[in-house]
Amino acid sequence: MSTESHTDHTASFGFRDVPEAEKEKLVRGVFSSVAKNYDLMNDLMSGGVHRLWKDAMVAWLNPQPGWKSLDVAGGTGDIAFRIANAIRRKGGEPNVTVCDINPDMLAEGVARAEKKGEAALTWVAGDAQALPLPDNTFDSYTIAFGIRNVTRIEKALEEARRVLKPGGRFLCLEFSQVVVPGLDVLYDKFSFNIVPTIGEYVARDRESYQYLIESIRRFPNQAKFARMIETAGLAQVKVRNLSGGIAAMHSAWKI
């Protein structure tokens, strides 16, 4: 009988490998640290382009009236607000649940919702790898810039399939691998030299933004992530690159 335990396994934390049991705590610390400045830093790091990427994600999702939508790692509500507004524009009443493991990120989202007068969202604390939600419940599952931070990506994908209804849509927006020659070099220089410096001066936290950049480089490229989605039991996987592959959207369905 094997004596290997769960704590013998490692997971990437930036360019380091740490025991699986420690990664969640480390990631929680990162997002607790950056929560107050998360949206401002996204604007500064991307020149506001992350807003266009998120708009493109929700446009491709094309949420419909009557849907039950789930946004995982949805913290500050950026995707959930967009889904709710898209459904209202079609004459529907939104039914959107936001799930995030980090209480500080959720608190930011709730505060933003109150400021916007947005009362249609449900906020749930939960782990993407063990969602506190029933099987076959949601018409759509979205996750934006969150899946690379989970300890076991394959488990999060299996959970996505579990909570989706048959015929439900999976859509992930994540940083990916640049596919335009030359852009990759410029992007690397900006990422490793500029982003941590912005984090140091704006968020007073260089280390967290160093981790976030390193975590992007450790995340599977477009083709490998597509295969992981298929392995989790989701079908009809399609990929759309954004900004030359700086980010990518992966779409799939629960058949």
Report how far apart, in Å, the C-alpha atoms of 105 and of each of 33, 74, 85, 130, 199 are. Answer: 10, 8, 21, 18, 17
Question: Higher model confidence: residue 38 or residue 124?
Answer: 124
Could you tell me which CATH number the domain at 22-253 has? 3.40.50.150
How does pLDDT run across 81-105, given as a tens digit for each residue?
999 999 999 999 999 999 999 999 9
Threshold 0.75, pTM exceeds? yes
Confidence grade of residue 129 (pLDDT, cut at 50, 70, 90)? very high
pLDDT classification of 72: cutoffs 50, 70, 90: very high
pLDDT confidence band for 208 (50 / 70 / 90): confident
Among 34-43, 114-123, 163-172, where is mean pLDDT lowest?
34-43
Strands 69-72 and 16-19, by their bridges, are unpaired
pLDDT band at 34 (very low <50, low <70, confident <90, very high): low
Tokens 């933003």 -> residue? 112
Instruction: Compute, in degrees rounded to 10, the torsion defined by CA atoms 25, 28, 30, 33.
Output: -120
Question: End-to-end CA distance of the chain, in Å?
Answer: 38
